[in-house]
Amino acid sequence: MIRLYDLSPEEIEALVTGWGQPSYRAQQIWTWLYQHLAASFEEMSSLPKSLRQKLAQETIIGVPEVVETVESTYGLTRKDLLRLVDGETIEAVLMHYNQRQTACISTQVGCSIGCPFCATGQMGFHRDLTSGEIVAQAVHFERVLRQESSHLSNLVLMGMGEPLLNYEASLEAIRRLNDHDGFDLGQRSITLSTAGVVPGIERLAGEELQITLAVSLHAATDRLRDQLVPLNRRYPLDALLSACYHYAERTGRRVSFEWALIEGVNDTPDQAHALAARLRGMLAHVNLIPLNPSSDYAKQASSSARVTTFTDILDQHHIAHSLRVHRGIDIQAGCGQLRQRQG
């Protein structure tokens, strides 16, 4: 079956004209999918019944089934277990803030990077998501928010998987969600997170997009990063940061560097000084994240005293940074906690 959320406007047009329908029907379908967020063909009331029947016979809309929903203690974070058409499952997260509503969505089932402190990496890699499966997660949460008289304001590709190892589908999903005649989410409201796939960063720099690039850095020396982010053995820090510098110069967009603070591992003064030296002169921001617990990783989040020492050093070197507040760790919805589960 053809999944409509996998199709571009041109592909939908080719589909319906191939059935003998006028080309303008494609725009009507696009509007139902991305503006009205239709959950069934019967909702597409501006289409003739014969076309709705043909769509039902030949296609599916392609929104995943919600297997389970869990909410954090204070109701500010929601995690959904979603079942895909082939039975695979992924997790996606919705976070409520004062001025924005942010969805954290997945780009792969599992992940091949294998970072030891990440639950997704611990489950291994199953398959890439299609562009439509990525898009459909955002559509799903927009439906949820509209029921609350709200809407999605920010999107982060920071869920399960490595977006730049599923480059074509991730970029197609971003462009589709940004489409002004459809979902119309601004590029500057979208963040793509990578563990450091250098060729993907270099390619992304030439896409003429204004999305935010976030890099999961976690260490400022190759020896330590080889342990924390195994991809570093293929793309070491000099190559990675050179690509990031080029991205910032080419796009004019500040690069965000993610740093999970792990007690006694990467929260030392030496690492703070090394990080400052690496980022000096780059349009960059460090997003410090106290390590979220994982059952297969024994280390703990840094103490407040060690965090203060680390941030004081960054301040001395005039490196912009912020400390992220824990979100959703009671429901395993924090960074590095998403994994495939049985519904």
Name the residue among 81, 88, 82, 87 with its Cα closest to residue 64: 82
Active-site residue, 335 included: yes
b/e 28-43 (16+ beta carbons within 10 angstroms → b): bbbebbbeebbeebee
Indicate the SS3 state at residue 3: strand
CA distance 140 to 80: 10
Phi, psi (rounded to 5 degrees) for 209: -110, 160
Separation of alpha carbons 174 and 187, rounded Å: 8
Kindly give the pairing relationship between strand 108-110 and strand 125-128: antiparallel
Catalytic annotation, pick one of 13, 91, 142, 258: 91
What burial class does residue 243 get, using C-beta atoms within 10 Å of its C-beta: 0-12 exposed, 13-18 middle, 19+ buried? buried
Judge whether 244 counts as a catalytic residue. no
Q: How far is CA 173 from CA 87, 197, 289, in A?
A: 21, 19, 27
**Hey, which residues are catalytic here?**
91, 335
